[in-house]
Amino acid sequence: MIKGKDLKPQDMGKPHEQLTKLEKLMDLPAPYDKPGMEPSLTEPKDAWKEKFCASLDGYIGIDTLTRPTTKEEEEEQVEMFLSGLEKIFSDETNRNFIQPLLLSFEYCAKCNTCSEACHVFQASGQNELYRPIFRSEVLRRIARKHFKKGSGIVEKFIGADIDINWETIARLGELAYRCNLCRRCAQTCPLGLDNALLAREIRKIFSQEMGIAPRPLHEKGTVLQLKTGSSTGITKPALLDNIEFIEEDIEEKTGKKIKIPIDKKGADILLTHNAGEFMAWPENPAAFAILFEDAGLDWTLSSDLLGYDNVNYGIWYDDSQAKKIALQQFKVARDLGVKRIVLGECGHAHKAAAVSADRLFTGEDYIPKESFLPLLWDLIKNNKLKLDPSKNNFPVTMHDPCNVVRMMGIVQPQRDIIKAVSPQFREMTPHGVHNYCCGGGSGFAIMKSMNFSEFREKVSTRMKFKQILDAFQDTIEDPTIPKYVCAPCSNCKGAIRDILKFYKVTEKFNVHYGGLVELVVNALVDIEKPFLDFLRDD
Amino acid sequence: MLLLIFIYISILAFILTSLSVAIRFSKMPMHSRWELYPVPKEKGRSEYGGSYYEELKWYEKPREISLFGELKEMLKEMLFIKNLFVNQRQLWWLSYALHLGIYLLGLWTVMLLVGAVTEVAGMTIISDEGVTSHWWAGLVYYVTLFAGAMGAVLTALGSGGLLLRRVTMESMKKYTTGQDYFNLLFIIIVLVTGLVVWASEPTFSYGREIMKGLLTFSPISADGPLTLHIILLGLLLIYIPKSKMSHYVAKYFTFHKVLWENEPNLPGSEIDQKIKEAAGIKSGKTWAAPHFQAGGPVSKDQ
Ligand code: SF4
Ligand code: SF4
């Protein structure tokens, strides 16, 4: 095992049982600066080491990357990786990304400006393994070795000095899942290069060529979604049941009798949710329904296959899966004859539908896609909703989902909204386009196999946890004051739920989390009892 | 005469190879959107990183683009290397010294050319009696001297400092290849030979003589050190656009064609047209995973 700070890209091919391990992590602010406040790190189980690739940092992110049992199988996997490598560099097989890929691949000056920006690298206590260019440099060295075969000296000169074997490749695959694809690093690169893009291309080689991707993303993600309509596995009848339950719940909580419109042909708006909301946070679709009905919008939900789940995990690891899903989602909207798709509180769905899939289809299939944020701000600005901000008189901070902010440029509307409903709002530092990822980005929020959650809680969400604690420093240690982390994105919300649980923050310090629409509904004048559960007595 | 031809070739090679890098990138297929905010051309919003998506029914409204915003950001990056200044000040000092030095050496080259034209036109810049008393001759002489001297000093400080930093800082050394060192060393060696030549003739008259040779296509006389310097400089010019030092071309694409390129695909737009064209291109090659094969299992375990 090599100490984190001594690790070099060439070590990726060396025969260590485990290349390196986490040691001293980034310090957390009070009250988590005292010993014993957070669970300690654990060791991977021996059985996992035998079956999977635990030889990187002891964590297993790809639960389908199993150790080959024969020499032939091993060689075959290496061969497949190399053929996939060739395909990302071909404009026949990688048309959509060849240009940005080559730019980021060829021009890195190794100036390390990006390292400062990466929350994973910083949170790990600056373990070399997680430096944004470590992974990119390993990919470069493998590619150079593969494409430009030369003598020993030439290889060393151009940096083709890495051993290509199964271990190197498997570790690189794992390492592609130690990056949240948040692209904060790319904002700082003086040459405009993007290490996230390279991490994503590695994920593509594994998925598109080798058929290897974390189960929660592929088999139980995109594949399930294409088959049943949703990666949650909810079917149409289950969804309808769920909506009925939501209607009852709305009446019970607010006294409002609302019939949620479903499959209404020709409606102005098709509202799409991350289907996870229906199961884990039904108060979120409920809040949307309350606000949209209050404002008198002409809207509908869809119960069609792929019409009720706006997620698209494909954008994290596989171009073709992303395309298939987007295609069907847009088709639902066109078949319903709606005028536009409005995306609810799911960050990656925003990016997938409005940005990533924007150039996949031509005019005939065009359907406008927009975020709920400008719409909601418009309703508030024009007094379509009667609000009393004093109902939200407790400290509130807001997390900016990377996909909505850094990758789509929606920054101001959510601030206008939250300031209109929350008198004690305070920003995180930094925020807006320079925010830190919640740590659940690019699939981490739903990847829970083996010990991967531990990596997420201890490392990838650590910076967000620090930001939350910093934002509440004035009241954190007073458990009588409730505090609210607003995360207008389903995945971020999941990641934040897990942080609060892992570090026992709700239990000890009365910190809660939820979306933005819930906060707005809680401020509605005509609702008697609080809408937010933690404010209710029952 | 051979030397003269070599100079022509190396200058031409520099321009043509740089151009071919640009052409190579511009001919690549249109990529999926991959923008990153702040995007400076977003009018009134670029300060905080906003975009047209903040607008209700953005697709029905005219797109407001500020070319001035984009140009301003581009110039800040070109003239001051802003991103590095903001995010890594320490390194910026060295990198900026190197780049400013190179810009000044560029100015110096132009001034040598101006001097040569002036002399061909009949006005001597400097003779044994000193700088010609005409204001123009004085201007040309001193700007050349200033640009050359400052350029050489800054480039030397920058490249030397960068090299030193690279060999002493563990976090940089690990990622540096032999070729990265070679690039820096190459610049330094050219610079050193240049300094040796300059030391023997501080007025840069030899530079104007070479320019005159180039302009009038007449042989140039060069002693040993000058010949060596010219050959090395020529080789450097040929090499730069072939190496990753050609980032002066790449940077245009990374920013303008990738990070700041957020043109939406609206019906009837140019993008829409390009997508239609691309849809006609069918490739025989595809990926090998099961879910790419028609009717195949969707995942490894099925
Ligand atoms: S900031 Fe850019 S050029 Fe510098 S090391 Fe990072 S990716 Fe490479
Ligand atoms: S994309 Fe985010 S997580 Fe990945 S290397 Fe860059 S800053 Fe780190």
Quickly state the pLDDT bin for B276 (edges 50, 70, 90).
confident
The token pair that represents B163 in the structure block: 């090299």
Q: What local confidence, expressed as pLDDT, does residue B300 receive?
A: 46
Q: Is B129 helix (H, G, I), strand (E, B) or coil?
A: coil
The token pair that represents A282 in the structure block: 């039904």
**DSSP secondary structure code for residue A34 in this structure:** S
Q: What local confidence, expressed as pLDDT, does residue A144 receive?
A: 93
Strand partners, A486: A398, A514
Ligand 1 atom with the smallest distance to the CA of A109 is: 3
Quickly state the pLDDT bin for B279 (edges 50, 70, 90).
confident
Q: What local confidence, expressed as pLDDT, does residue A233 receive?
A: 85
**Mean pLDDT confidence for A14-37:** 95
Q: Which three-class secondary structure string do you get for B140-164?
A: HHHHHHHHHHHHHHHHHHHHHHHHH
Q: Is A417 in the pocket of ligand 2 (CB under 6 A)?
A: no
- Interface contact B56-A370, CB threshold 8 A: yes
**What is the rounded distance in angstroms from the CA atom of residue A110 to the CA atom of residue B180?**
9
Q: What local confidence, expressed as pLDDT, does residue A43 receive?
A: 95
The token pair that represents A476 in the structure block: 């954190």
Best CA proximity match to A188, nearest among B259, B57, B239, B291: B259
**DSSP secondary structure code for residue B292 in this structure:** G
pLDDT exceeds 80 at position B226: yes
Q: What ipTM, to 2 d.p.? A: 0.95
Write out pLDDT tens, residues B58-95. Answer: 999 999 999 999 999 999 998 999 999 999 999 999 99
Cis peptide before B219 (omega within 30 of 0): no
A393 vs A155, more confident? A393
In percent, how much of chain B has pLDDT > 90? 84
pTM for this prediction: 0.96
Write out pLDDT tens, residues B140-177. Answer: 999 999 999 999 999 999 999 999 999 999 999 999 99
Q: What local confidence, expressed as pLDDT, does residue B281 receive?
A: 79
Q: Is A266 exposed, middle or buried (0-12, 13-18, 19+ CB in 10 A)?
A: exposed
Q: Which of A102, A193, A197 to mutate to test the pocket of ligand 1 (most atoms within 8 A of CB)?
A: A193
- Interface contact A410-B51, CB threshold 8 A: yes
The token pair that represents A97 in the structure block: 């990304």
B176 Cβ under 8 Å from any chain A Cβ: yes
Q: Is A140 in the pocket of ligand 2 (CB under 6 A)?
A: no
- Interface contact B34-A194, CB threshold 8 A: yes
pLDDT exceeds 90 at position A511: yes
Q: Which of residues 374-413 of A touch B (CB under 8 A)?
A: 374-375, 378, 405-413
pLDDT exceeds 60 at position B298: no
B64 Cβ under 8 Å from any chain A Cβ: no
Identify all chain A residues contacting B298, using CB atoms and an 8 Å cutoff: 219, 223, 226-227
**DSSP secondary structure code for residue A387 in this structure:** B
Write out pLDDT tens, residues B178-201. Answer: 999 999 999 999 999 999 999 999
Q: Is A120 in the pocket of ligand 2 (CB under 6 A)?
A: yes
Q: What local confidence, expressed as pLDDT, does residue B302 receive?
A: 41
Ligand 2 atom with the smallest distance to the CA of A118 is: 7
Instruction: Compute chain B's Rg from CA coordinates.
Output: 26
**What is the rounded distance in angstroms from the CA atom of residue B225 to the CA atom of residue B231?**
10
pLDDT exceeds 90 at position B32: yes
Quickly state the pLDDT bin for A457 (edges 50, 70, 90).
very high
pLDDT exceeds 60 at position B297: no
State the distance between the two ends of chain B, measured CA to CA, in whole angstroms.
73
**Mean pLDDT confidence for A489-494:** 97
pLDDT exceeds 90 at position B229: yes
* Nearest Cβ partner for B34 among A134, A197, A410: A197
CB neighbour burial string for A514-538, b if at least 16 within 10 angstroms, e if fewer: bbbbbbbbbbbeebeebbbeeeeee
Amino acid found at A427: E
Pairing of strands A396-398, A483-486: parallel
pLDDT exceeds 90 at position A538: no
State how far residue B111 is from chain A, nearest Cα, in angstroms.
Answer: 30
CB atoms within 10 A of CB B168: 9
A371 Cβ under 8 Å from any chain B Cβ: yes
Q: Measured in angstroms, how far is the CA atom of residue A132 from the centroid of ligand 1?
A: 8
Write out pLDDT tens, residues A360-413. Answer: 887 777 899 999 999 999 999 999 999 999 999 999 999 999 999 999 999 999
**What is the rounded distance in angstroms from the CA atom of residue A250 to the CA atom of residue A244?**
10
Q: What local confidence, expressed as pLDDT, does residue B222 receive?
A: 87
A110 Cβ under 8 Å from any chain B Cβ: yes
Identify all chain A residues contacting B290, using CB atoms and an 8 Å cutoff: 211
Mean pLDDT comparison of A516-520, B118-122, B280-284, highest-scoring range: A516-520
Q: Is A212 exposed, middle or buried (0-12, 13-18, 19+ CB in 10 A)?
A: buried
**What is the rounded distance in angstroms from the CA atom of residue A248 to the CA atom of residue A75?**
58
Residue A121 to residues A112, A354, A491, Cα–Cα distance (Å): 12, 30, 21
Q: What local confidence, expressed as pLDDT, does residue A371 receive?
A: 98
Identify all chain B residues contacting A321, using CB atoms and an 8 Å cutoff: 291
State how far residue A356 is from chain B, nearest Cα, in angstroms.
Answer: 6
Write out pLDDT tens, residues A76-111. Answer: 999 999 999 999 999 999 999 999 999 999 999 999
Q: Measured in angstroms, how far is the CA atom of residue A429 from the centroid of ligand 1?
A: 24
- Interface contact A99-B258, CB threshold 8 A: yes
pLDDT exceeds 80 at position A42: yes
Q: Which three-class secondary structure string do you get for B56-75?
A: CCHHHCCCCECHHHHHHHHH
**What is the rounded distance in angstroms from the CA atom of residue B55 to the CA atom of residue B45?**
11
CB neighbour burial string for B266-278, b if at least 16 within 10 angstroms, e if fewer: beeeebbeebeee
A344 vs A149, more confident? A344
